[in-house]
């Protein structure tokens, strides 16, 4: 399960500056994971070349697209409510067309067009280059659908436009799809088999972002640690590669080093990692380069070996704990966050207590915690009975959340009295007199603006904290990372 974007920005319409030659309006909303937000930037780039400027005004739009998530039932319910809203607006704008993109489009396919009749266009995550043809189809009064999954498409040749950007941080996709068949997850079915992007195209995009003034990138993939470029296609076919391809292959540790060396002044983050695929080479590479942030999002999902096996997570509790120990040994101040599922089928109170005890062992900085939601088509939905009552799921989830809040406060309190490097991302949400930025370990910091500017690296003395935020005073600009 990939890390989910904070609820405060889920579903926000995304905007770019207008091209004076374009005369049509695109309104696009994104839900779910970081990959969806990144994909929306690719979609906007493709449609900008087809005469569309983006707009934040739904009632001004000629084309409305919603980039969807299927990871939980709640996400799909939210999208359906938005589609109802779009169709209500469409009654007063008959020429307006509505389309669904992404994972929900891939999962439900033509059902949205033929049975529910709530959209004009359905486009899967590997079919965005076909959008010009699909738009022409709907312009001519026909419904349009393309949900064909690809074994090659990475969109590495598309220069994304940066939507609603702060001008400082950006996403760079490095892989698509996933080969890990976790029983609870729809991603392998909605995004296809895993393939990696040419490392030179990744470095080129990072270089271009630096020239545009960006100072931090997050390398994105459903599972970045299994990145493997060998000049071929799917990762699963690597054994068939030529000796030359194998000799020149680039793994994730190698890609990290390439990006870090290409732009020593740029902060580098990545997400999401899978414990079974993360190697100590990656951790050592993080330790070697100052500009690679000391933060790892390391989903575990459960602390019980029995449940991990039922989830088809190819790591044990002990192996996960050993990885945590190795990370702390190599990078003592590394921030670590989690994904956790409460109430997976068959989970007992003892299984739940093992999850809580694992959390006590790690003491994560923060986490993304959910009650189990059965997703149609997954192995868990086909083979396992969703037998945990909702009230039990909710109670266990609340216990996980409460423990995480305790650990988050413990972790933020460890910063008190320290002076830390912070990249200013923009104004604080709560005060226009304060800046907001993040430490290398991904902890949010708020401090008075004074004469500092967005995009600067500033040294901040930490004086106070909550469970989610550090509060302090800037004491000067940071030294150049180079």
**Short-list 270, 170, 168, CA closest to 219:** 270
Q: How far is CA 129 from the centre of its chain?
A: 21
The band of 482, judged by pLDDT with boundaries at 50, 70 and 90, is low
Q: Give the class (CATH, top level) of 169-413.
A: alpha beta
Mean pLDDT of 11-23: 57
Least confident segment among 234-243, 394-403, 467-476: 234-243
Q: What is the mean pLDDT of residues 187-200?
A: 90
178 is in an annotated binding site: yes
CATH number for region 7-146? 3.40.50.12160
Which neighbouring-strand residues pair with 170?
217
**Between 68 and 473, whose confidence is greater?**
473
User: Between 143 and 234, whose confidence is greater?
Assistant: 143
**185 belongs to an annotated ligand binding site:** yes
Is 465 within any annotated ligand binding site?
no
Task: Using the predicted structure, report yes or no on whether residue 17 has a pLDDT greater than 60.
Answer: no
Residues 140, 227 contacting (CB under 8 angstroms): no
Confidence of residue 114 (pLDDT cuts 50, 70, 90): confident
Q: How far apart are CA 14 and CA 194, in angstroms?
A: 27
Q: What's the pTM?
A: 0.88
∠ CA 227-233-234, rounded to 5°? 60
Q: What is the per-residue pLDDT for 314?
A: 95
State residue 1's pLDDT score.
Answer: 39
Q: What is the mean pLDDT of residues 327-344?
A: 98
Q: Does residue 395 register a pLDDT over 80?
A: yes
DSSP lists the bridge partners of residue 326 as none
d(CA 34, CA 417): 33
Q: Phi/psi zone of residue 155: left (φ > 0), alpha (ψ -120 to 50 degrees), beta? A: left
- The pLDDT, as a whole number, for residue 2 is 38
293 belongs to an annotated ligand binding site: no
Per the CATH hierarchy, to which homologous superfamily does domain 419-477 belong? Nucleic acid-binding proteins (2.40.50.140)
Please tell me whether 334 is known to bind a ligand: no
d(CA 219, CA 260): 11
Rounded distance, CA 399 to CA 356, Å?
A: 8
pLDDT at 447: 98
- Evaluate whether 285 touches 257 at the Cβ level (below 8 Å): yes
Q: Where is pLDDT greater, at 107 or 306?
A: 306
So where are the chain's domains? 7-146, 169-413, 419-477
Q: How confident is the model at residue 144 (pLDDT cuts 50, 70, 90)?
A: very high
| Confidence tier at 436 by pLDDT (50, 70, 90) | very high
Q: Of 137-146, 207-216, 249-258, which range is least confident?
A: 137-146
Annotated binding residue 69: yes
What share of the chain has pLDDT > 90, as a percent?
A: 72
Query: For 121-130, 187-196, 292-301, which range has the lowest pLDDT when averaged over its residues?
Result: 187-196
d(C-alpha 13, C-alpha 164), whole Å: 8
Q: Using CB atoms within 10 A of its CB, is residue 383 exposed (0-12), middle (13-18) or buried (19+)?
A: exposed
Q: Note the pLDDT of residue 409.
A: 98
pLDDT level of residue 146 (50, 70, 90 thresholds): very high
Cα distance between residue 441 and residue 246, in whole Å: 34
Residue 159 is predicted with a pLDDT of 82
pLDDT of 481 reads 64
Tens of pLDDT along 154-177? 888 888 878 778 999 999 999 998
As a whole number, the mean pLDDT across the chain is 91
Between the ranges 36-40, 72-76, 337-341, where is the mean pLDDT highest?
Answer: 337-341
For residue 7, the model assigns a pLDDT of 28
- What confidence tens digit (pLDDT) does each residue in 265-279 have? 999 999 999 999 999
Nearest to 87 by CA among 50, 112, 53: 112
**pLDDT beyond 70 at 4:** no
* HEC sequence for the chain: CCCECCHHHCCCECCCCCCCCCCEEEEEEECCEHHHHHHHHHHHHHHHCCCEEECCCHHHCCEEEEEECCCCHHHHHHHHHHHHHHHHHHCCCCCCEEEEEHHHHHHHCCHHHHHCCCCCEEECCCCHHHHHHHHHHHHCCCCEEECCCCCCCCCCCCCCCCCCCCCCEEEEECEECCCCCCCCCCHHHHHCCCEECCHHHHHHHHHHHHHCCCCEEEEECCCHHHCEECCCCEHHHHHHCCHHHHHCCEEHHHHHHHHHHHCCCCEEEEECCCCCCCCHHHHHHHHHCCCECCEEECCCECCCHHHHHHCCCCCCHHHHHHHHHHHHHHCCCCEEEEEEEECCCCCCHHHHHHHHHHHHHHCCCEEEEEECCCCCCCHHHHHCCCCCCHHHHHHHHHHHHHHHHHHHHHHHHCCCCCEEEEEEEEECCCCCCEEEEECCCCCEEEEECCCCCCCCEEEEEEEEECCCEEEEEEEEECCCCC
The whole-angstrom separation of Cα 189 and Cα 180 is 11
Nearest CA among 314, 269, 216 for reference residue 441: 269
pLDDT at position 6 is 32
**What is the structure's pLDDT at 280?**
97
Once rounded to an integer, what is the mean pLDDT over residues 81-101? 91
């Amino acid at each position: 399960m990939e890390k989910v974007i904070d609820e405060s920005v889920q579903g926000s319409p995304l905007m770019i500056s207008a091209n004076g030659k374009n005369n049509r309006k695109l309104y696009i909303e994104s839900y779910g994971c970081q990959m969806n937000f990144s994909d929306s930037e690719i979609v906007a780039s493709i449609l900008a070349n087809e005469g569309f400027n983006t707009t934040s005004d739904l009632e001004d739009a000629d084309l409305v697209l919603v980039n969807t998530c299927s990871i939980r039932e709640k996400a799909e319910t939210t999208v359906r409510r938005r589609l109802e809203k779009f169709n209500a607006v469409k009654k007063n704008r008959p020429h307006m067309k509505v389309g669904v993109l992404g994972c929900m489009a891939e999962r439900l396919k033509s059902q949205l067009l033929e049975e529910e009749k709530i959209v004009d266009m359905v486009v899967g995550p590997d079919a965005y280059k076909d959008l010009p043809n699909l738009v022409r189809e709907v312009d001519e009064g026909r419904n349009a659908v393309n949900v064909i999954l690809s074994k090659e498409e990475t969109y590495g040749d598309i220069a994304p436009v940066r939507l609603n950007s702060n001008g400082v941080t950006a996403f760079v996709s490095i892989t698509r799809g996933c080969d890990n068949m976790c029983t609870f997850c729809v991603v392998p079915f909605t995004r296809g088999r895993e393939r990696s992007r040419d490392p030179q195209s990744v470095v080129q995009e990072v270089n271009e972002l630096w020239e545009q003034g960006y100072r931090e990138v997050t390398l994105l993939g459903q599972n970045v640690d299994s990145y493997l470029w060998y000049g071929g296609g799917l990762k699963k076919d690597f054994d068939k590669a030529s000796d030359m391809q194998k000799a020149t292959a680039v793994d994730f540790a190698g890609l990290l080093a390439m990006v870090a060396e290409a732009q020593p002044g740029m902060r580098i983050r990545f997400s999401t990692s899978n414990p079974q695929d993360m190697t100590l080479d990656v951790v050592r590479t993080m330790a070697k380069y100052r500009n690679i942030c000391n933060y790892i999002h390391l989903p575990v999902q459960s602390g019980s070996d029995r449940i991990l096996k039922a989830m088809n997570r190819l790591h044990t509790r002990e192996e996960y704990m050993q990885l945590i120990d190795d990370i702390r040994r190599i990078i003592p101040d590394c921030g670590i966050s989690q994904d956790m599922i409460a109430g997976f089928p068959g989970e007992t109170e003892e299984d739940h207590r093992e999850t809580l005890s694992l959390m006590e062992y790690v003491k994560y900085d923060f986490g993304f915690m959910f009650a189990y939601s059965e997703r149609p088509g997954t192995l868990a939905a086909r083979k396992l009975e969703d037998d945990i009552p909702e009230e039990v799921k909710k109670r266990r989830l609340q216990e996980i959340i409460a423990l995480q809040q305790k650990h988050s406060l413990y972790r933020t309190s460890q910063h008190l009295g320290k002076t830390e490097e912070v990249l200013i991302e923009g104004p604080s949400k709560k005060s226009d007199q304060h800046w907001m930025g993040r430490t290398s370990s991904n902890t949010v910091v708020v401090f008075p603006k004074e004469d500092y500017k967005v995009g600067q690296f500033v040294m901040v003395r930490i004086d106070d904290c909550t469970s989610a935020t550090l509060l302090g005073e800037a004491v000067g600009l940071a030294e150049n990372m180079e």
